[in-house]
Amino acid sequence: MSGAAIDIHSGYVSAEALRGLVSSCDAYVSLHRSEGIGLTIADAMGLGKPVIATGWSGNTDFMTEDNSFPLPYRLTTLTRDYGPYMRGAEWAEPDLAEAARLMRLVHDHPDQARARGQRAQEQIARERDPAATGAILRHRLEQIRTGDPAAASPA
């Protein structure tokens, strides 16, 4: 790991600029409240970066304790509208003290962090690459076409 510089970005960053930024960083941290599918998280994992991210939302489909640093959270109910998030919806409040602890851990134990990032990279390559995703989609389309939920699984 390099020095202790921290860059905080908020707002829109182009895909090209984001990929360059993630490529040059030591770790990717996402203290999100509701991430959606977690594309930037998966991208960082695909690059082998240690990832610390709120353990809530779509990123939990691929983040595990073995390949990343899922962050605890507490759910809160919105009392007013926040952009597209309507009053009454739930979102996660990440545990900031644990986020700080995990960032220190990644910095102080770079070998452990790199090993997790390597496992993440291997998993993303195995499960999220275009060929694997295509096989899953073909399988699901075959199930829909035949009406057979037991249709042959992807090879």
Q: What is the pLDDT of residues 139-155, one digit of tens each?
A: 889 889 988 877 666 55
Q: What percent of the chain has pLDDT over 70?
A: 94
Parallel, antiparallel, or unpaired for β 51-54 and 28-30?
parallel
Q: What is the pLDDT of residues 9-52, one digit of tens each?
A: 778 888 899 889 999 999 999 999 988 889 999 999 999 999 99
Task: Count structural domains, the chain.
Answer: 1
Higher-confidence residue of 105 and 132: namely 105
> Given pLDDT bands bounded at 50, 70 and 90, which one contains residue 4?
low
- 154 is a domain residue: no
The pLDDT of residue 68? 98
pLDDT of residue 77: 97
Residue 4 lies in a domain: no
Distances (CA, A) of 149 to 105, 140, 144, 152: 45, 9, 8, 9
Domain for residue 45, yes or no?
Answer: yes
Domain of residue 54, CATH code? 3.40.50.2000
The answer to whether position 153 is within a domain reads: no
What type of residue sits at position 38? Answer: G
Cβ–Cβ under 8 Å, residues 50 and 103 = no
Domain membership of residue 2 (yes or no) is no
**Owning domain of residue 51:** 15-146
Selection from 24, 30, 29, 31 nearest residue 3 by Cα = 24
Q: Is there a domain that residue 25 lies in?
A: yes
Which of 134, 13, 111 is closest to 30 using CA atoms? 13
What does the DSSP 8-state code read for residue 72? P
In a domain, 10, yes or no: no
Residue 38 belongs to a domain: yes
> pTM here?
0.81
How far is the CA of 25 from the CAs of 6, 17, 39, 48, 145, in angstroms? Answer: 9, 12, 17, 11, 45
